[in-house]
Amino acid sequence: MSEGIITLTSSNFEAEIAQGQILIDFWAPWCGPCRMQGKILDELVPQLPAGARIGKINVDAEAALAARFNVRSIPTLVLMKDGKPAQQMVGVQTAAMLLDILKKSAG
């Protein structure tokens, strides 16, 4: 996992999502598509728009957070803006698409 990616847990979740944009990746270490998505997110970090961040939630360790967002399959990505969900995507997403969503949502 890249240095620019935050590990989110129930203890730091509210503080991390409260302000700005954060793209949350719900994943598990045993999930092949999640590992693919993780590599894409690592590549995305240096291209993030100002103020945007990426966080990861391990669904095995944080089942309550996964349930809160109705995560039924992984990877699931949720874009949070100022503490509220702005968009949710299921399945592996491309870096270009994620960057476009983050740029459009930044305004």
Supply the pLDDT for residue 106. 78
Whether residue 89 lies in the annotated active site: no
Lowest-confidence pick of 2-11, 31-40, 41-50, 62-71:
2-11
With 90 as the cut, is the pLDDT of residue 12 above it? yes
With 80 as the cut, is the pLDDT of residue 59 above it? yes
Supply the pLDDT for residue 2. 58
Q: Which of 6, 31, 40, 90 is catalytic?
A: 31
Q: Which of 5, 8, 23, 34 is catalytic?
A: 34
- CATH superfamily assigned to domain 5-101: Glutaredoxin (3.40.30.10)
With 60 as the cut, is the pLDDT of residue 40 above it? yes
List of E strands, 1-107:
5-7, 21-27, 52-58, 76-81, 84-90
Supply the pLDDT for residue 85. 95
pLDDT band at 107, cuts 50/70/90? Answer: low
What are the angstrom distances between the C-alpha of 99 and each of 23, 45, 63? 10, 10, 27
Whether residue 31 lies in the annotated active site: yes
